């Protein structure tokens, strides 16, 4: 029987549980008993679940954590007080892998003989995929359903860069790598087009398979549904089998009472054991009191540690955003410090590394890999992949002992890209006179104005080839039996295919990795803690105010503001990590980064 864990901490949203900073997760004993079918729990999903606690999560504000939501569903499955679960979507924005991990918890919940009802004012493809894991999909009266399929957009910036006077000189090792093409081409190469088209086919196949299974539809029925319900009313969506009911929210309780054939009640805070832990912001001194609270967790119980590697991989310390704002950057120094903290804790018996990264700095990736190797000398290290472990992210993954992926996790991009941006034409247009002086046989490589000649490009390629050889040697050592002729050179794969190619070991989410590792270590009762710890409250305020706490100036990033306005929030969110990663070329010439500038709708 599956072990269930509940987070001890404050509540965020209605009926959801997330831990406070570094809060431990304690086992909840499974209870037997008669289910009270008339009492339903309500879980509200808003925004995008956080992969880990950061920003204001630890004081009870911000997004719910993905693991916290999964834990809540698992705990409710064995709680005899509740006979069903209502999940209400309020502007939820879930990635494919988050849907799969939440869906797996929903399936475990239904395996206990309880029903799940999904309610939303609007269903897009992601919400419909989540609905395929539910017993009933309910649409708000007057709402609509949009299910046209998958649309992907890639952005190619070479013409724009040429227009402003920037020459991007980027070299790649690996025919299918493609990370340089965003900046150097106006359309995809043949190799990259095959690579990304194959990935899109796999994504579309996964989506169709789940919808057909969950909604009990044939291929023909699903084709008709997509043709009819690219933009549909509730009645039209019901007719083609995409949803089950159309109900006005005030009538939802009556609708569910009919479903259960009894008067029902619902509980929106079933586990409110720590709801008062969030600070009282009506008290003007509350913020300063919160800042002074120590947040270091005392580990005095058998524990599994989760080490998060999220966003662009960079040298130094982790941070929120980069030159272009937005995004998250995981620093090698921060990860190595966290690893040393984990090693010192005798009660930590095992570690799961959660990777959700397109890669970044080659140097930082190697430093993190070295840290994982050191960690394995002291404790078992398994890996869980979220949306992506590509390029530098896969580099770090190869240091783990066992790798879990979701069906839609993207892995691979074993390849190298490097280069620089020659700004000479920009300087000329802006009437800036740059005087350069060089000493040394290769010092002109660093010129910001002059492009490389053929000899210099060859030197850079030689260095990149050495990095690629080191990368592939790490992969071969960590992934026994892998055939690099089928997996390297920048190729990308989804979860099932990655397992077939020995790039990963098992399908499962973060909770599967944690529970299976605990079983492997024969840990009957254990806690879960997360590393690195969230930033201190005063650091969050400093970053949010752009240094205002130290000088009376609020920083506004004009580049970020312009790109957000031109591209829109969805496109900006998709492109920002890639842009921040590519700007690492200011400081180093070789990167392990996967192309990330595409949007799937």
Residue 73: Cβ within 10 Å count: 23
The full DSSP string for 376-435 is: HTTS-EEEEEEEEEETHHHHHHTTSSEEEE-TT-EEE-B-EEEEEEE-HHHHHHTT----
d(CA 40, CA 14): 13
- Beta-ladder partners of 168: 421
Predicted pLDDT of residue 440: 58
Predicted pLDDT of residue 548: 41
Contact 407, 497 (CB under 8 A): no
Quickly tell me which residue has 């018996």 as its tokens.
349
d(CA 303, CA 347): 6
- Beta-ladder partners of 232: 145
Q: What is the pLDDT of residues 532-564, one digit of tens each?
A: 876 555 555 554 444 444 333 334 455 555 555
Cis previous bond, 493, omega within 30: no
Predicted pLDDT of residue 35: 44
d(CA 383, CA 518): 13
- Domain 297-426+457-600 -> CATH class: alpha beta
Domain positions in the chain are 5-147+229-276, 297-426+457-600
* SS3 label, residue 418: strand
Contact 104, 516 (CB under 8 A): no
Q: What is the CATH number of domain 5-147+229-276?
A: 3.90.226.10
Predicted pLDDT of residue 436: 73
- The residue ranges of the chain whose pLDDT is under 70 are 1-37, 53-63, 153, 169, 269, 271-297, 320-327, 434-435, 437-443, 534-601
Cis previous bond, 416, omega within 30: no
d(CA 318, CA 504): 27
Q: What is the pLDDT of residues 425-479, one digit of tens each?
A: 887 777 777 667 666 566 677 777 888 888 888 888 888 888 888 999 999 999 9
The yes-or-no answer to whether 5-147+229-276 and 297-426+457-600 have a common fold is yes
Predicted pLDDT of residue 600: 41
Angle between helices 96-111 and 66-77 (to 10 degrees): 10
The structure's pTM equals 0.74
d(CA 291, CA 75): 32
d(CA 163, CA 153): 22
d(CA 11, CA 590): 43
Predicted pLDDT of residue 10: 25
Predicted pLDDT of residue 377: 94
d(CA 360, CA 388): 13
Longest distance between any two alpha carbons in the chain, whole Å: 85
Token pair, residue 6, equals 């509940």
Q: What is the pLDDT of residues 19-48, one digit of tens each?
A: 333 333 333 333 344 444 578 999 988 888
The full DSSP string for 486-507 is: HHBTT-EE-HHHHHHTTS--EE
Contact 41, 267 (CB under 8 A): yes
Nearest to 22 by CA among 572, 531, 551, 574: 531
* SS3 label, residue 586: helix
Nearest to 457 by CA among 168, 181, 157: 168
- Mapping DSSP onto H, E and C, the string for 134-151 reads CCEEEEEEEEEECCCCCC
């Amino acid at each position: 029987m599956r072990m269930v864990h509940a987070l001890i901490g404050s509540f965020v949203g209605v009926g959801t549980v997330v831990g406070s900073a570094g809060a431990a997760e304690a086992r909840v004993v499974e209870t037997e008993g008669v289910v009270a079918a008339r009492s339903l729990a309500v879980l509200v999903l808003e925004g995008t679940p956080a992969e880990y606690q950061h920003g204001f999560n630890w004081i009870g504000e911000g997004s719910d954590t993905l693991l916290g939501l999964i834990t809540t569903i698992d705990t409710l499955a064995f709680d005899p007080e509740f006979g069903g679960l209502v999940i209400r979507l309020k502007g939820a924005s879930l990635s494919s892998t988050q849907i799969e991990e939440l869906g797996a918890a929903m399936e475990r919940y239904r395996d206990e003989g309880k029903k799940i009802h999904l309610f939303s004012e609007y269903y897009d493809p992601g919400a419909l995929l989540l609905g395929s894991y539910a017993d009933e999909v309910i649409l708000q009266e007057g709402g609509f359903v949009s299910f046209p399929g998958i649309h992907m957009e890639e952005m190619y910036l070479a013409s724009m860069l040429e227009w402003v006077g920037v020459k991007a000189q980027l070299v790649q090792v690996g025919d299918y790598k493609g990370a340089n093409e965003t900046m150097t081409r106006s359309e995809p190469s043949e190799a990259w087009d095959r690579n990304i088209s194959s990935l899109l086919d796999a994504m579309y196949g996964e989506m169709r398979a789940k919808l057909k299974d969950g909604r009990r539809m044939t291929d023909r029925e699903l084709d008709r549904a997509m043709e009819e319900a690219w933009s549909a009313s509730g009645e039209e969506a019901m007719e083609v089998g995409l949803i089950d009911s159309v109900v006005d929210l005030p009538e939802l309780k009556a609708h569910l009472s009919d479903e259960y054939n009894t008067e029902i009640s619902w509980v929106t805070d079933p586990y409110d054991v720590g709801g008062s832990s969030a600070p009282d912001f009506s008290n003007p001194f509350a913020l300063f009191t919160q800042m002074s609270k120590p947040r270091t967790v005392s580990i005095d119980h058998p524990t599994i540690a989760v080490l998060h590697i999220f966003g662009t991989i960079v040298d130094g310390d982790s941070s929120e955003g980069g030159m272009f704002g937005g995004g998250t950057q995981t620093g090698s120094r921060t990860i190595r410090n966290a690893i040393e903290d984990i090693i010192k804790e005798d009660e930590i018996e095992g570690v799961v590394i959660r990777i959700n990264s397109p890669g970044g700095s080659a140097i930082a990736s190697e430093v993190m890999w070295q840290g994982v190797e050191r960690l394995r000398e002291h404790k078992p290290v398994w890996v869980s992949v979220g949306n992506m472990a590509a390029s530098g992210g896969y580099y770090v993954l190869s240091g783990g002992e066992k790798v879990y992926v979701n069906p839609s996790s993207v892995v691979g991009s074993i390849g190298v890209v490097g280069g620089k941006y020659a700004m000479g034409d920009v300087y000329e247009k802006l009437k800036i006179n740059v005087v350069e002086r060089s000493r040394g046989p290769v010092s002109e490589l660093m010129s910001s104005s002059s492009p490389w000649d053929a000899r210099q490009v060859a030197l850079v390629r030689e260095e990149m080839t050495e990095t690629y050889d080191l990368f592939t040697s790490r992969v071969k050592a960590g992934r026994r039996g892998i055939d690099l002729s089928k997996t390297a050179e920048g190729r990308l794969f989804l979860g099932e295919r990655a397992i077939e190619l020995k790039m990963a070991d098992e399908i499962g989410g973060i909770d599967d990795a944690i529970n299976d590792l605990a079983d492997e270590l024969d840990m009957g009762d254990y806690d879960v803690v997360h590393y690195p710890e969230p930033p201190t409250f005063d650091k969050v305020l400093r970053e949010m105010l752009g240094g205002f706490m130290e000088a009376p100036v609020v920083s506004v990033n004009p580049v970020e503001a312009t790109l957000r306005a031109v591209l829109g929030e969805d496109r900006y969110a998709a492109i920002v990590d890639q842009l921040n990663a590519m700007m690492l070329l200011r400081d180093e010439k070789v990167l392990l980064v996967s192309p990330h500038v595409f949007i799937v709708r």
